[in-house]
Amino acid sequence: MKTIYCISGLGADERAFSRLKVDGYRIQCLPWLTPQAGENITDYATRMREAITEENPILCGLSFGGMMSIEISKQIQVDKLILISSIKSIKELPRWMKTCGFLRINRLFPMRSFKLMEPIQNRNLGITTPEEIELVRSYRRNAPQVYMDWAVNQVLNWRNNWSPEHIYHVHGDADRLFPIAKISATHVIKGGGHFMIMNRADDVNAALKEILITT
């Protein structure tokens, strides 16, 4: 049984993939690591890929995990790379994120989880149910601050323009964090927001099934 190596979104964990149902494949989530002092995204990807034991693996990255999957794909040959609610290059990074990175706003005001900001963050993520709100709240509560500050900086300053040959991109046309207008997706989920891997799981699973039978 072939493994799909999954990388969750910023600060999230394996629960983000709990509703994926892919017959004939084993799901293995790669855990986020604590960043080392001064570590760049390339070196971080090198450490993260040590958990991958198969040759020519299938990688599936959610949001920031998609960006990290591309960085890993620069270092090893992959069978398929699947992005969900993510971006492939600097061209797809929203302008406001580029501006924040250029002005180093995240350095001046490090990432913190203020309860006042939760409704705005939740709206951008596209979550509404009590279950989803509590899940994301637990992510904010449990993610180490050193990791969050590092990861936010990597997102805002990602300048990638490379993609592997076999790349597939599943994206929602109602994604507020990474708007579809800038995205070149292979599979578009109508009405899907940034959290569609949870609240539109059936549609995401259908897209994955189609991708996995592609040779």
- CA dist., res. 204 & res. 125, Å (int): 16
Structural domain containing residue 103: 2-212
As for how many domains the chain has, the answer is: 1
Question: The domain spanning residue 180 has which CATH number?
Answer: 3.40.50.1820
- Global confidence as pTM: 0.92
CA angle centred on 129, ends 28 and 61, rounded to 5°? 25
Measured CA angle at 24 (ends 18, 25), to 5 deg:
50
Tell me the pLDDT of the chain (215 aa) as tens digits: 899 999 999 989 999 999 999 999 999 999 999 999 999 999 999 999 999 999 999 999 999 999 999 999 999 999 999 999 999 999 999 998 988 887 777 665 555 555 556 777 888 888 888 998 899 989 888 889 999 999 999 999 999 999 999 999 999 999 999 999 999 999 999 999 999 999 999 999 999 999 999 87
* Spatial CA neighbour of 35 closest among 132, 114, 149: 149
The tally of CA atoms less than 13 A away on the side-chain side of residue 157 is: 16
- Do residues 17 and 153 lie in contact, with contact meaning Cβ atoms separated by under 8 Å? no
> Pick from 166, 185, 151: which is nearest to 68 by CA?
151
Q: Is 115 exposed, middle or buried (0-12, 13-18, 19+ CB in 10 A)?
A: exposed
Match 């963050």 to its residue by tokens: 121
DSSP letter string, 180-198:
GGG---SEEETT--TTHHH
To which residue do tokens 């990638």 refer? 160
CA distance 29 to 61: 10
